[in-house]
A and B are shown apart, each in its own frame.
Chain A
């Protein structure tokens, strides 16, 4: 489904990704782990099409189509979904209006009829229940005044509504307490299907206890330095990133504490 070959990308002239190679097939769940600053978030942003990042080399295809030629909104319509690490607050645009506009943009792209306000409201209420968000959140500004956990649940709710082919989850576990982590994981697991792939980007392996990946990759210095199965994450948990010769201040700090 997704094929990344020798991907290089920079931001403000500084190279962050230095030759990423990754193949993801439909139905698979991949986890990318790595210390802060390794390029995890950059990879997510580049795949989603953030223009702040410049691709300097390499290619990315989604089901054979050159992804890098597509605008951000076209990528989304082709099935790329990024759950943001820091979902954006947009006061003045109601969550409901935002979600309906997005869903209808997808439907129009697929040649389906747009959903009217009443139909969409019904759907949105159902899905908000699935991620344990009170329907009152639909009336509020997009992510406006939401807690960290509510924002992450709102991201998963969007994924459930938009039904992407490839869902990229950028640090979706950060800032979640254990109950919220469970809700978010249940939502992600509900997304798992034969014709959908999931790419999780995470610093810690605790999310992987709830969403069990098929493959784990370790990203460091802008390259994937090790790939393996689920057991690789457990090994990292136990031994820390230092085990692979990677400096990781945060992990070292938390180990010291």
Chain B
């Protein structure tokens, strides 16, 4: 048997040395562990539908430059952090100054803080399931640390703009770590953008640790260009009565992958995961989510919608794992899919593993097309066919878009959705 391909050695060389010693050491360890890691192929279960889109050529291995570019993001009101190719740009950022809340670049940490962080980093995700996210730990050049002291409340959402400039091939490895103390609260918005046209990769990891009663909302907008491969992972660990809410809106690309893993480790924990994916042309998007009900009396609610037009390809894999001691778990997963053309493909797989006997679990997945009768009803009222298509497509995801807690984010999503509609539904 032919051995599975592994990462080219070029990918395992970290260039920048601007991090504190403890983090450089962590990065080195993680890099060593990747040497023999097999790359996903179509035989790798969790990359079955997506490995063919993955292009890890050597020219992708270099780190994209993090200086000398005009920056966007200034239009974002309130607190914001701008990453350029994986490195925080302090001059473009507007850091919150709130008692009990520490927001800092990994590069600015003193030795003690860095050592503490190195101990905490990279233990929210299941390594085996997120092979390629592990690359981030071996390559990150910077990162955003957010520490919320007990009872601290971030009074406004914090926007993190991840900008990638693709004027040459290469990769960026942004990273975020959020340590939410007991009963703290914050909303974090991540927006992924790009400029330039060369093939590049964004490899990103965001981690959340929620202590008892912490309440975190995370919004994620994936909107890079047609030249950007996006491999992202979000890991969440929740203690007693902690609440985590995730809203993702993703637009397709040559490769788009998001792994979202939530562990409910304390009783009374709650998570709500909403996701919208829209693909067109030959685009791809793959969402893999895992919810681990480790402790008893936790609730999870997951709703994902995919819309695929043209020859695009969307994948949803939702796994719920109810551990043996997780009695009285409530888990509800729902995935609906809309195919807008005969050439589009959507693969969906709900997975339930239940080892406790007193639980309530429901899951459902459907794939359909726009309803002809609904379309006829709308046009029979004089509504243009294009408009009717847009109304019905929007109706499919509206409920989720409306739940995004910030108007500016909803507007950004609507603007991008309108571009999608313009390209998908021609004027008749």
Asked if B382 and A82 sit within 8 Å, CB to CB, the answer is: no
- Name the distance in Å between A68's Cβ and chain B's nearest Cβ: 15
User: Among the listed stretches A19-27, A71-79, A176-184, A209-217, which one makes contact with chain B, having 4 or more residues with CB under 8 Å of it?
Assistant: A71-79
Number of interface residues of B (CB under 8 A): 25
Bound CA span A48–B374, Å: 14
Given A91-B395, A92-B396, A92-B398, A50 and B376 touching (CB < 8 A)? yes
Bound CA span A141–B394, Å: 13
Contacts of A77 in B (CB 8 A): 382
Determine whether A222 belongs to the interface, using a CB cutoff of 8 Å to chain B.
no
Asked if A105 and B391 sit within 8 Å, CB to CB, the answer is: no
Determine whether A106 belongs to the interface, using a CB cutoff of 8 Å to chain B.
yes
Minimum CB distance partner of A78 in chain B = B382
Determine whether B245 belongs to the interface, using a CB cutoff of 8 Å to chain A.
no
Asked if B376 and A72 sit within 8 Å, CB to CB, the answer is: yes
Asked if B383 and A73 sit within 8 Å, CB to CB, the answer is: yes
Asked if A76 and B382 sit within 8 Å, CB to CB, the answer is: yes
29-70 of chain A: CB within 8 A of chain B:
48-52
Minimum CB distance partner of A51 in chain B = B376
Determine whether A129 belongs to the interface, using a CB cutoff of 8 Å to chain B.
no
Minimum CB distance partner of A77 in chain B = B382
Contacts of A141 in B (CB 8 A): 395
Contacts of A106 in B (CB 8 A): 382
Determine whether B98 belongs to the interface, using a CB cutoff of 8 Å to chain A.
no
Q: Mark B280-294, 1 if CB is under 8 A from A, else 0.
A: 000000000000000
Asked if B382 and A87 sit within 8 Å, CB to CB, the answer is: no
Contacts of A87 in B (CB 8 A): 377
Which of A50, A84, A92, A162 is the one whose CB lies under 8 Å from B382? A162
Asked if A105 and B374 sit within 8 Å, CB to CB, the answer is: no
- Name the distance in Å between B248's Cβ and chain A's nearest Cβ: 19
Bound CA span A106–B373, Å: 21
Given A73-B385, A105-B387, A92 and B394 touching (CB < 8 A)? yes
Asked if A76 and B380 sit within 8 Å, CB to CB, the answer is: yes
Determine whether B92 belongs to the interface, using a CB cutoff of 8 Å to chain A.
no
Asked if A97 and B391 sit within 8 Å, CB to CB, the answer is: yes
Asked if A90 and B392 sit within 8 Å, CB to CB, the answer is: yes
Contacts of A92 in B (CB 8 A): 394-399
Bound CA span A206–B380, Å: 27
Determine whether B379 belongs to the interface, using a CB cutoff of 8 Å to chain A.
yes
Determine whether B384 belongs to the interface, using a CB cutoff of 8 Å to chain A.
yes
Number of interface residues of A (CB under 8 A): 30
Asked if A88 and B377 sit within 8 Å, CB to CB, the answer is: yes
Bound CA span A51–B399, Å: 30
Determine whether A101 belongs to the interface, using a CB cutoff of 8 Å to chain B.
yes
Which of A49, A88, A91, A101 is the one whose CB lies under 8 Å from B383? A101
Contacts of A51 in B (CB 8 A): 376
356-407 of chain B: CB within 8 A of chain A:
371-374, 376-385, 387-388, 391-392, 394-399
Bound CA span A55–B222, Å: 48
Which of B382, B385, B392 is the one whose CB lies under 8 Å from A109? B382
- Name the distance in Å between A140's Cβ and chain B's nearest Cβ: 13
Minimum CB distance partner of A92 in chain B = B395
Between A51, A105, A109, the greatest number of chain B beta carbons within 10 A of the residue's beta carbon is seen for A105
Given A73-B385, A88-B374, A92-B396, A101 and B379 touching (CB < 8 A)? no
Asked if B395 and A90 sit within 8 Å, CB to CB, the answer is: yes
Between B377, B381, B398, the greatest number of chain A beta carbons within 10 A of the residue's beta carbon is seen for B381
Between B387, B395, B428, the greatest number of chain A beta carbons within 10 A of the residue's beta carbon is seen for B395
71-128 of chain A: CB within 8 A of chain B:
71-73, 75-77, 81-82, 84, 87-88, 90-93, 97-98, 101-102, 105-106, 109
Minimum CB distance partner of A88 in chain B = B377
Contacts of B372 in A (CB 8 A): 52
Bound CA span A84–B379, Å: 13
- Name the distance in Å between A6's Cβ and chain B's nearest Cβ: 24
Between B371, B372, B376, B377, the greatest number of chain A beta carbons within 10 A of the residue's beta carbon is seen for B377
Asked if B383 and A105 sit within 8 Å, CB to CB, the answer is: yes
Contacts of A101 in B (CB 8 A): 383, 387, 391
Bound CA span A180–B410, Å: 40
Bound CA span A92–B392, Å: 8
Asked if B380 and A105 sit within 8 Å, CB to CB, the answer is: no
Given A92-B394, A93-B392, A158 and B399 touching (CB < 8 A)? no
Known contacts A72-B380, A73-B388; 8 additional CB pairs below 8 A are A73-B385, A75-B380, A93-B392, A93-B395, A101-B387, A101-B391, A141-B395, A162-B382
List the 3 closest A-B pairs by CB distance, nearest first. Answer: A92-B395, A76-B382, A102-B381
Pairs across A and B, CB under 8 Å, 16 listed: A49-B380, A50-B376, A51-B376, A71-B385, A73-B384, A73-B388, A75-B380, A76-B381, A81-B380, A90-B395, A92-B395, A92-B396, A101-B383, A101-B387, A105-B383, A162-B381
